[in-house]
């Protein structure tokens, strides 16, 4: 893509609202354009785009209310929350952000030694079938048959014992409860939806493929501390400051990812977050309740995520109006708003290339009854 094509792309991004004027001028300057030249591009007659591209830039939320967000508005049996807003129009808008076809791996690698938040079980990957074991044990007829397997064909398979809350993940609406008796999103009672073998409702298998526009907010870069220090609180002012510096804004129904730099710490731990002491320190940076509220109620975020295990600052700096919680942001997002939480989203590649608007693509592993979709590999397309 030559400079002229890039410049035209910047103009289109500005006119669609993907870039602020400040962001447009900054990116134009990076292409070698003077301020006057950039202003001239904006003043040039607008070329009519194809109808699909025009429509893709305008997606109106169905049930979001500014100043309120969503809440329990989708019916008594609903298990999706605001993911009911997904649809072809949002997919088209997301794909309209793809300019160079570059894919960013937003997942973090998991191993038995990976850091885990308190209260989650350790993991183990066990070799269940191995070539030598199969040949020596000879307990499978189709392997030991000289007639049918003279080449001694064998295979490897592993048994996995892991938590559904490790590495890159999405919290389901059945993950967090409040009250006594405990209830979660939409008033579902724990006693009615939790079995000895996982969730009967609101499990990870209910989460549809997510294809949506996304905004990355690089708070670590904006704050000049990368990674952010222990218990660093990210509120609305800090989020807006980073957005202003990036020259972008959040559209309603954007997936919003907030970068603290903790994913970079994970990758320094042998690539799998094995540096537990260092991880435990930086993993406590995150959103305040007012920061999460701002993203949902003022910006209309479709999902909220960070590159930490818990999204919110720990210990909490703010509490809900009607009581206290060790995870008030989780209660607000999952239980009260029906907004899914994305954790350990690796934004290091996006940050290096200064990619702040992109298409977010996530398919959740369909393990019925799990409280989170885990060890995921979301993709950012730019």
Residues 232, 373 within the same domain: yes
What b/e string do you get for 163-185 counting C-beta neighbours within 10 Å, with b at 16 or more?
bbbbbbbbbbbbbbbbeeeebbb
Q: Is residue 59 included in any domain, yes or no?
A: no
Give 289-293's long-range contacts (Cβ < 8 A, gap of 24+): 289/316, 289/317, 289/318, 289/319, 289/320, 289/328, 289/329, 289/332, 290/235, 290/236, 290/318, 291/233, 291/234, 291/235, 291/236, 291/238, 291/239, 292/329, 292/332, 292/333, 293/69, 293/332
Is there a contact between 114 and 279 (Cβ–Cβ < 8 Å)?
A: no
Q: Is residue 150 included in any domain, yes or no?
A: yes
* Boundaries of domain holding 318: 81-115+163-381
Residues 135, 264 within the same domain: no
Residues 147, 167 within the same domain: no
Residues 150, 182 within the same domain: no
Cα angle 379, 15, 45 (rounded to 5 degrees) comes to 135
Q: Is residue 96 included in any domain, yes or no?
A: yes
Q: Is residue 61 included in any domain, yes or no?
A: no
Q: Is residue 66 included in any domain, yes or no?
A: no
- Quick one: pLDDT at residue 52? 41
- Quick one: pLDDT at residue 328? 97
Residues 218, 247 within the same domain: yes
- Quick one: pLDDT at residue 31? 76
Q: Is residue 134 included in any domain, yes or no?
A: yes
- Quick one: pLDDT at residue 57? 67
Residues 132, 227 within the same domain: no
Residues 145, 170 within the same domain: no
Give residue for tokens 């970068």. Answer: 259
Going residue by residue through the chain, which has 382 residues, state the pLDDT in tens, using 9 for 90 and above: 577 777 777 777 777 777 887 887 787 788 777 777 667 677 666 543 433 444 456 899 999 999 999 999 999 999 999 999 999 999 999 999 999 999 999 999 999 888 888 888 888 889 999 999 988 888 888 988 888 999 999 999 999 898 888 899 999 999 999 999 999 999 999 999 999 999 999 999 999 999 999 999 999 999 999 999 999 999 999 999 999 999 999 999 999 999 999 999 999 999 999 999 999 999 999 999 999 999 999 999 999 999 999 999 999 999 999 999 999 999 999 999 999 999 999 999 999 999 999 999 999 999 999 999 999 999 999 9
Residues 209, 86 within the same domain: yes
Residues 207, 335 within the same domain: yes
pTM, 2 dp: 0.86
Per the structure, the count of domains in the chain is 3
- Quick one: pLDDT at residue 48? 39
- Quick one: pLDDT at residue 51? 35
Q: Is residue 197 included in any domain, yes or no?
A: yes
Question: What's the CATH number where 91 sits?
Answer: 3.50.30.50
138, 161, 184: which is the final residue of a domain? 161
Residues 146, 277 within the same domain: no
CA distance 233 to 68: 23
Residues 210, 310 within the same domain: yes
CA distance 161 to 239: 38
- Quick one: pLDDT at residue 47? 46
DSSP 164-220: SSSSSEEE-TTS--BTTTTB-GGG-BHHHHEETTEESSS-GGGPPPEEEEEEEEEHH
Residues 9, 92 within the same domain: no
- Quick one: pLDDT at residue 54? 42
Q: Is residue 53 included in any domain, yes or no?
A: no
């Amino acid at each position: 893509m030559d400079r002229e094509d890039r410049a035209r792309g910047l103009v289109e991004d500005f006119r669609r609202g993907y870039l602020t004027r400040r962001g447009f001028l900054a990116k134009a300057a990076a292409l070698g354009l003077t301020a006057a030249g950039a202003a001239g591009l904006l003043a040039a007659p607008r070329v009519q785009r194809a109808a699909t591209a025009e429509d893709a830039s305008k997606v109106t939320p169905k049930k979001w209310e500014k100043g309120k967000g969503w809440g329990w508005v989708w019916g008594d049996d609903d298990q999706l929350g605001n993911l009911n807003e997904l649809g072809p129009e949002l997919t088209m808008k997301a794909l309209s952000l793809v300019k160079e076809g570059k894919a960013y791996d937003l997942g973090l690698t998991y191993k038995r030694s990976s850091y885990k938040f308190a209260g989650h079980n350790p993991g183990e990957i066990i070799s269940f079938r191995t070539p030598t074991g199969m040949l020596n044990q000879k307990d499978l007829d189709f392997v030991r048959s000289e007639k049918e397997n003279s080449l001694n064909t064998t295979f490897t398979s592993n048994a996995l014992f892991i938590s559904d809350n490790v590495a890159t993940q999405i919290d389901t609406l059945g993950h967090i409860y409040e009250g006594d008796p405990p209830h979660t999103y939409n008033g579902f009672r724990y006693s009615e939806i939790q079995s000895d073998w996982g969730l009967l409702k609101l499990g990870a298998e209910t989460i549809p493929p997510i294809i949506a526009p996304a905004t990355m907010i690089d708070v670590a870069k904006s704050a000049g501390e990368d990674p952010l220090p222990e218990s660093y609180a990210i509120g609305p002012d800090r989020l807006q400051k980073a957005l202003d510096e990036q020259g972008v804004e959040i559209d309603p129904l954007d997936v919003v990812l907030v970068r603290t730099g903790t994913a970079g710490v994970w990758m320094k731990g042998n690539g799998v977050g094995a540096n537990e002491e260092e991880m435990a320190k930086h993993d406590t940076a995150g959103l305040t309740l007012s920061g999460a509220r701002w993203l949902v109620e003022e910006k209309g975020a479709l999902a909220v995520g960070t590159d930490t295990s818990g999204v919110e600052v720990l210990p909490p700096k703010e509490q809900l109006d009607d009581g206290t919680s060790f995870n008030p942001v989780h209660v607000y997002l999952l239980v009260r708003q029906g907004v899914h939480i994305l954790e350990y989203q690796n934004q290091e590649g996006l940050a290096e290339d200064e990619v702040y608007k992109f298409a977010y693509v996530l398919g959740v592993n369909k393990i019925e009854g799990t409280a989170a979709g885990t060890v995921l590999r979301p993709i950012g397309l730019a």
